[in-house]
């Protein structure tokens, strides 16, 4: 399949909101959505994209120890290399597509850190996996929510079919306003 064009993902911060935890500390919670610019050949995809392929194939996330997950020193200002800046991060859930368990958005990092905009979009990785294996994601694996952010709902995703179905996730009750962790906006990412 070499020679297929891929688009490099560039991510845009959609909203940043300060959250007061009543402990005197503020955490920054970012909601990020992918959009793409530029082209990339399949053989140029990021090496760390293989980690998501492995998780999809085994249906098991890596332990924090195996992933080399750690929390950086709070006094060490390296916010640009933290989970919140990784394309595999699910910030609202404090979760990761690769590492099991709850992660720290602001200070957590693993050896699979892949900055947003590097390699393929997670949704396109899932699509490539499905094309190679014929296995769609189970509903729970898609982190499906009842109402997505405006502009990033099922109806905005290139993998959504208007028969209330999704090319990535099993099931048939996908309403246009729903969303999941693998949304790729129409006309973005790889060619379908």
Domain ranges of the chain: 5-135
Window from 55-64, 116-125, 145-154, 175-184 with minimum mean pLDDT: 116-125
What pLDDT does 146 receive?
Answer: 94
CA 145, chain centre distance (Å): 14
Dihedral (CA of 37, 7, 32, 115) sign: negative
Q: Convert the pLDDT of each residue in 9-48 to its tens digit.
A: 322 222 233 333 333 333 323 333 332 223 344 554 678 9
- pLDDT interval class at 189 (50, 70, 90): confident
The pTM score is 0.76
């Amino acid at each position: 399949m070499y020679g297929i064009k891929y688009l490099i993902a560039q991510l845009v911060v959609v909203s940043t909101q300060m959250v007061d935890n009543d402990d005197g500390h503020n955490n920054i919670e970012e909601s990020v959505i992918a959009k793409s610019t530029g082209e990339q050949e399949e053989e140029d995809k990021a090496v760390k994209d293989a980690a998501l392929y492995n998780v999809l194939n085994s249906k098991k996330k890596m332990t924090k120890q195996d992933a080399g997950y750690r929390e950086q020193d709070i006094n060490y200002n390296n916010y640009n290399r933290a989970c919140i800046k990784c394309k595999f991060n699910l910030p609202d859930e404090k979760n990761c597509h690769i590492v099991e368990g709850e992660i720290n958005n602001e200070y957590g990092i693993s050896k699979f850190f892949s900055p947003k905009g590097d390699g393929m979009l997670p949704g396109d990785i899932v699509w490539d996996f499905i094309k190679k294996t014929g296995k769609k994601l189970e509903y729970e694996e898609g982190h499906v929510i009842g109402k997505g952010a405006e502009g990033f709902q099922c109806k905005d995703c290139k993998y959504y079919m208007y028969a209330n179905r999704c090319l990535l996730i099993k099931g048939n009750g996908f309403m246009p306003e729903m969303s999941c962790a693998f949304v790729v906006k129409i006309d973005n990412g790889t060619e379908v």
